[in-house]
Amino acid sequence: MSGGRQFFVGGNFKMNGNTKSLSAIAERLSSSDLDDTVEVVVAPPASYLALLSAKLSAKENVNVSAQNVHEAEKGAFTGEISCSMAQDCGARYAILGHSERRHVFGESNEQIGTKTKSVLAAGLVVIACIGEKAEDRKSGNTMNVCVEQLTAFKENINDWSKVVIAYEPVWAIGTGEVATPEIAQETHSQIRTWLSENVGSEVAASTRIIYGGSVNGKNCKDLSLQPDIDGFLVGGASLKPEFVDIINCTRK
């Protein structure tokens, strides 16, 4: 990482955990000697946002994120939560465009863009997820896919200081197949170049681009040494004690 960007480590718990296990994670984070130069964000299931927010309130550099939100403020949307509901439960961030939302639940670029506008209007920070499938990587279409997804975000962003981009190659999420530091760095560099050419050089220099996809305590250090990798969005490992090691991987 370079450019003075604050290192960012997010933990996406997905649909995992209960009061006991998530309280234990919060206790571990609260009692651990975390690198206070790292911004840490955890995203529990919506039903545990308030619990985690309360338990982590004393840890200044640890905040809570929604895993997803609906674009409307309120209404007849059974099973959904709005930005203000997430905020009311202590969330300061929202993950949007995660590959599972795109490819399991069928969210389109257009819908994710609309959600982005709502999240920023509510004052939350967007963790904007992009990434290609294995067939896109093999056919050389990685950046075509990423640019299409980035463009949908860009058209709905009025304040890039409230955005963290998460590059998550779909083929590496939950598979144990992590992109090599060189492959990840190449794509991160291309994303930063795209930002420079399509948004502006200052935004490109200051926006954090984090990597997600089977990050763990063993591979995080090598990934963190790449100049355009500004942190991680961690899945399964965020539920384990090694999450602390990942948070502290850049500590000198």
Is residue 239 in a domain?
yes
Is residue 106 in a domain?
yes
Is residue 69 in a domain?
yes
Q: Distance between CA atoms of 178 and 164, rounded to whole angstroms? A: 20
Is residue 60 in a domain?
yes
Is residue 2 in a domain?
no
**Pairing of β 8-12 and β 208-211:** unpaired
Residue ranges making up the domain that contains 221: 8-247
- Would you say the C-alpha torsion 187, 223, 177, 149 has a positive or negative sign? negative
Is residue 217 in a domain?
yes
Is residue 21 in a domain?
yes
- 52-76 b/e (C-beta count within 10 Å ≥ 16 → b): bbebbeebebbbbbbbbbbbeeeee
Q: What's the CATH code of the domain at 130?
A: 3.20.20.70
Q: Distance between CA atoms of 232 and 127, rounded to whole angstroms? A: 11
Q: What is the DSSP-derived secondary structure letter of residue 208?
A: E
The predicted pLDDT at position 153 comes to 98
Is residue 27 annotated as a catalytic residue, yes or no?
no
Is residue 252 in a domain?
no
Catalytic residue selected from 98, 100, 132, 188:
98
Q: What is the DSSP-derived secondary structure letter of residue 94?
A: E
Query: Tens-of-pLDDT digits for all 252 residues of the chain?
Result: 556 899 999 999 999 999 999 999 999 999 999 999 999 999 999 999 999 999 999 999 999 999 999 999 999 999 999 999 999 999 999 999 999 999 999 999 999 999 999 999 999 999 999 999 999 999 999 999 999 999 999 999 999 999 999 999 998 887 887 789 999 999 999 999 999 999 999 999 999 999 999 999 999 999 999 999 999 999 999 999 999 999 999 998
Contacts 24+ apart (CB under 8 A), 51-56: 51/19, 51/22, 51/23, 51/26, 52/22, 52/26, 52/90, 53/89, 53/90, 53/91, 54/90, 55/23, 55/26, 55/27, 55/30, 56/26, 56/29, 56/30
Number of domains into which the chain is organized:
1
Catalytic residue selected from 71, 100, 132, 168:
168
Q: Distance between CA atoms of 228 and 195, rounded to whole angstroms? A: 13
Is residue 80 annotated as a catalytic residue, yes or no?
no
